[in-house]
Structure 1
Amino acid sequence: MVFLHGTSGHLEAFARNIAAHAAYDVHAIDMLGHGYTGKPARPYEIADYVGHLIDYLDAVGVERAHIVGESLGGWVGVRTATTHPDRVASLQLLCAGGTVANPAIMERIRTSTLAAVRSDDIELTRKRLRLLMADPADATDELVEVRHAIYHEPDFVANVHNLLSLQDMERRRRNLLTREELGRITQPTLIIWGRQNPFGEVPEATAMHKHIPGSRLELFDQCGHWPQHEQSERYNRISLDFLTSVSAA
């Protein structure tokens, strides 16, 4: 299993999920330009993230993986599944991005991230994390401290505009997932969405479900943009049941 996080995040997004999936060979990685992974000095597009993921799988000797992608990670997961179908065993799309270009949401992501990165005030990092959650208490002190430390690494500060590049309208539009691409997904696919997701409304999830053949959709009440964290016990149970069904097929 490979867990892929969202824009400006890192593998901490799956802190409540890794142990529950210990029966699998679990990899939670910082994607290109994020966390403690290398940060090439160029704007990142989806093909760059896919290339990084494939290079990672090659480097660790993994031929085929179950991909779990949250937000940006789901966008990358879909594109990997359609361009490298032999490398993806199944898909889990957790509040996945990449099907729409909403200027207000794009600006919210950009401004909240830049505010947290450009200031030493840890409360701005807390505000950025709370934006993801239906219940602010889920943005724990530990999450805030870890994210704040990464946000203030010199190479992260210098590179932040590159990892926010998909919030540029022209670049985002040329990377969007189309209905036709979703229709080419052949892997078993589980879609999970929070009804209070601040970065995407429920119709985005139902549209994905409609266009991905044989997909399964689960909507979480009282949940924002991190269902795997906000309702980890429920998510872990559903994920493990899904993986069991994939293995049995």
Structure 2
Amino acid sequence: MSIWTDLAGVEFRLAYVDAEGIRTRSLRAGSGEAVIFLHGTSGHLEAFVRNIPAHAAAGYSCHAIDMIGHGYTAGPDAPYRIPRYVAHVLAYMDALGIDRAHFVGESLGGWVAGRLAADHPDRVSRLTLVAPGGTVANPTVMERIRTSTRKAVEEDDIAFTRKRLELLMFDPAANVSDELVEVRHHIYHQPEFVKALPNLLCLQEMDNRLEDLLSPEQMARITAPTLIVWGAENPFGDVPEAHALNRSIAGSTLEIFAECGHWPQHEHADRFNALHLDFLSGARA
């Protein structure tokens, strides 16, 4: 499978949006209520190519974006902390006249979406957190993310990029295509990306992370209906972390996917799409 076959059958466009001075890449498809998809640390919008067609066909206006300093979106020369990510997403919404949206946030994207939902409840309709980060500070996991990303960026050998992507999956052979590796390798080796890497990895430093964690008080302020999706073999967070998150967000629903790593929306796209579309429709609380 390739990115282009994943997107076959749906009309979409890649476009750049000026989000308060930040040139922001987005993939847009469909029409209707807005659904904004946010990727993880060092990721990019291609993380959602297996989800966009089903959501567009179901009558939603899909927006997968590269967050600040990620993919082909510009980034300021300053640490990428959670309030900065939130401000950028809001600026993107404002630039396109999106008053309110459903959010799908994976890993770092879930952290950003959760903070946005806590601080700006009027902008969030329904919230989906896919293996989200930001509720704990685990030094082993932080070092794993920091080391694997730096290796892939600083070394020319594309094998390190493949290893970084394979780390996300329970079944890398079925889910890490040559094309996905090549896309990420090209992103990782842009001079702007290399220069910005310390800013991008700042949340893997303990002081920054502890200051920006989703606190119990913030999670208690999330009023949007919330779905949490977790992989049983997630290398960046154990299942008890998912249960704790579920308890912290009142009325939230937790779904744990077996034989799944850190990208449930990609590894089990059909199951995720059906589950999520039911959730968006209100058929699932």
TM class by smaller structure: over 0.9
* Shift, 1:174, TM fit: 0.3
Amino acid at match of 2:228: I
Secondary structure in 1 matching 2:51? coil
Aligned to 1:25: 61
Q: List gaps (5 residues or longer) in structure 2.
A: 1-34
The reply to whether residue 6 of structure 1 matches residue 33 of structure 2 is no
- The residue that corresponds to 1:105 in the other structure is 141
Q: Say yes or no: does 1:218 pair with 2:255.
A: yes
The structure 1 segments of at least 4 consecutive aligned residues displaced by more than 3 Å after TM superposition are none
CA shift for structure 1 position 220: 0.2
| 2:183 matched residue in structure 1 | 146
**Superposed, which structure 2 residues align to 1:1-249 within 5 Å?**
1-22=35-56, 23-137=59-173, 138-245=175-282
- Give SS of 1:26's match: strand
Counterparts of 2:253 and 2:143, CA distance in 1: 31
- Unaligned runs of 5+ residues in structure 1 are none
- Secondary structure of 1:2's partner? strand
Residues 36-92 of structure 1: per-residue CA shift (max 9 Å, x gap): 111211111100000000000000110000010000000000100011110010100
- Cα offsets for 1:111-141 (capped at 9, x unmatched): 1000000111000000000000001111111
Higher strand share: 2
| Percent identity (aligned) | 62
Compute the TM-score of the two structures, normalised by the length of structure 2. Answer: 0.86
CA distance in structure 2 between the aligned counterparts of 1:44 and 1:226, rounded to whole angstroms:
22
Distance 1:182 1:140 in 2: 36
User: What is the TM-score normalised by the length of structure 1?
Assistant: 0.98
**Aligned length, in residue pairs:** 248
Q: By how many angstroms is 1:29 displaced? A: 0.2
What is the rounded CA distance, in whole Å, between the counterparts of 1:20 and 1:155 in structure 2?
Answer: 33
What is the alpha-carbon root mean square deviation over aligned residues? 1.1
Whole-angstrom distance in 2 between the partners of 1:109 and 1:208: 21
Paired AA for residue 107 in structure 2: S
- Report which structure shows greater RCO (CA 8 Å, sep ≥6): 1
**Structure 1 residue 199 displacement after superposition:** 0.2
How many Å separate the matches in 2 of 1:71 and 1:78?
Answer: 11
